[in-house]
Amino acid sequence: MLSSRLHTAFFDLLRSGLWGKRSVMALDNISSDEWKEIYDESVKQTVSGLIYDGIVNADHASLPDNDLIAKWTVRAVRIANYNAKVNKTISTLAKSLNSRGIAPILLKGQATAMLYNEPTLRESGDIDFFFQDEKALAAACEIVGKGFMTERKSDGSYVCNRNGVTVELHSKMFDMVSSSQRKHLSEAVSALGFRRMDWTEDPSVEILTPTPVLNMLMQNLHILRHALSFGIGLRQLCDYAVCYRGLNDSEIISLSRILDKMGLCRWNNMLMSFLDTYLYGNTKSISPCTLYKLVMQTGNFGFGAESRSWNRVVANNIRLFPTVPVQSLTTVLSLLARR
């Protein structure tokens, strides 16, 4: 992990990129080798575009050396270009689906990117479309996968690679949850539902997205699921921070009540403490919290760790078991069933 000094610089730059505010600390004494450490960590956490934006907007005399800043600039341009490619793919697929009377429900990813201060610099991953019934899912698979290799995953979803853009089609919004929690989630989906999103890339297409509280619930459980498996990186936590900041008071109360019903009060407190300390900058941490250690050691979906092995899963579950014992057990059993 980063030294204490570089940790402070890293998160200051990250907050600068996230919220569009100038860096508040002096970065004049960072050496070339230390800038390389910051770059490597930003890649591991898939927030290199945000950190780059933070550097561009920082008040300091010391920059990464010419080779590194050139490399970083090229990476930022590639992130922006890939985002444009993903958005175009979403528009193309949505038009095809709309022609069959299907309005895809866009989860996470580009729907969240629109809320960022600089959407083009959020590192995009897969396109996740959700469909509320198997009939719609089958029809979507026929359209999306036509002419491209399509694979059925163990959880029932489909994965298709379209010219370098991975598209996942889901019939389930939530994965690896206990039977007792499914009732609460089903009630939340019925009560909260979906809404048409303002897809600025092409306003003519109809794309749905979860309403704010349902979106936060989905993201919260997504973060927890990956934290309990191979690991989770800062990109997903940045997504959560950006979306959470957009909630009104009644939505915050509603989200907390649902999570409390699901027995996730302690987990939610841990997650919000992380956001307050590292992404909002509202509090100072006396010592690194459990979630911080897990995030910084594992990186994006665990790919930044030394290995994505069962040893990693066990280590993550040991860390989080006191906070989410039921979810920890459910995750381990679900992963074992898929082996």
The predicted structure's pLDDT at residue 17 = 93
Phi first, then psi: give them for residue 193, nearest 5 degrees: 65, -155
Q: Which domain holds residue 206?
A: 102-210
Same domain, 280 and 162: no
**pTM of the predicted structure, to 2 decimals:** 0.93
Domain end point (choices 164, 179, 210) = 210
Mean pLDDT of 159-186: 87
> Three-state SS for 129?
strand
Both tokens of residue 228? 């309990």
Residue 122 belongs to some domain of the structure:
yes
Domain end point (choices 161, 187, 210) = 210
Higher pLDDT, 167 or 26: 167
Which amino acid is present at 117? N
Number of domains in the chain: 2
Both tokens of residue 205? 């297409």
Phi first, then psi: give them for residue 151, nearest 5 degrees: -125, 140
Least Cα distance to 125 among 146, 143, 147, 110 occurs for: 110
Residue 62 belongs to some domain of the structure:
no
Mean pLDDT of 126-150: 92
The predicted structure's pLDDT at residue 170 = 93
Helix, strand and coil content of the chain, in percent to the nearest 5, comes to 60, 10, 35
Cβ atoms of 120 and 83 within 8 Å: the answer is: yes
Same domain, 108 and 154: yes
Give the tens place of pLDDT for each residue, 15-46. 999 998 877 666 668 889 999 999 999 999 99
pLDDT tier for residue 336 given thresholds of 50, 70 and 90: confident
Same domain, 204 and 223: no
pLDDT at 309 over 90: no
Residue 275 belongs to some domain of the structure:
yes
Region for 134 from its dihedrals, namely left if φ exceeds 0, alpha if ψ lies in -120 to 50, beta otherwise: alpha
Cβ atoms of 7 and 1 within 8 Å: the answer is: yes
Domain end point (choices 187, 210, 233) = 210
Torsion of CA 156, 160, 166, 171, to 10 degrees: -30
User: In which order are the strands placed within the sheet that holds 208-210?
Assistant: 150-152, 158-162, 165-170, 127-130, 105-107, 208-210, 194-196
Same domain, 111 and 234: no
> Three-state SS for 208?
strand
Mean pLDDT check: name the lowest of 68-72, 105-109, 334-338.
334-338
Least Cα distance to 54 among 27, 30, 83 occurs for: 27
d(Cα 258, Cα 241) in Å, to the nearest integer?
18
Same domain, 235 and 307: yes
Residue 283 belongs to some domain of the structure:
yes
Cβ contacts of residue 267 below 8 Å, gap of 6+?
A: 224, 259, 320, 323, 324, 327
Same domain, 230 and 269: yes
Residue 232 belongs to some domain of the structure:
yes
Give the tens place of pLDDT for each residue, 265-292. 999 999 999 999 999 998 876 667 889 9
Q: DSSP state, 63? A: -
Cβ atoms of 49 and 76 within 8 Å: the answer is: yes
pLDDT at 260 over 90: yes
Give the tens place of pLDDT for each residue, 227-248. 998 899 999 999 999 999 999 9
Same domain, 204 and 313: no
d(Cα 172, Cα 79) in Å, to the nearest integer?
29
Q: Assign 3-class secondary structure to 130-181.
A: ECCCHHHHHHHHHHHCCCCCEEECCCCCEEEEECCEEEEEECCCCCCCCHHH
The predicted structure's pLDDT at residue 251 = 97
Residue 31 belongs to some domain of the structure:
no
Same domain, 158 and 247: no
Residue 151 belongs to some domain of the structure:
yes
Same domain, 201 and 224: no
Residue 182 belongs to some domain of the structure:
yes
Same domain, 251 and 309: yes
Beta bridge partners of 167: 127, 160
> Three-state SS for 188?
helix
Q: How many CA atoms lie within 13 A of 221 on its CB side?
A: 26
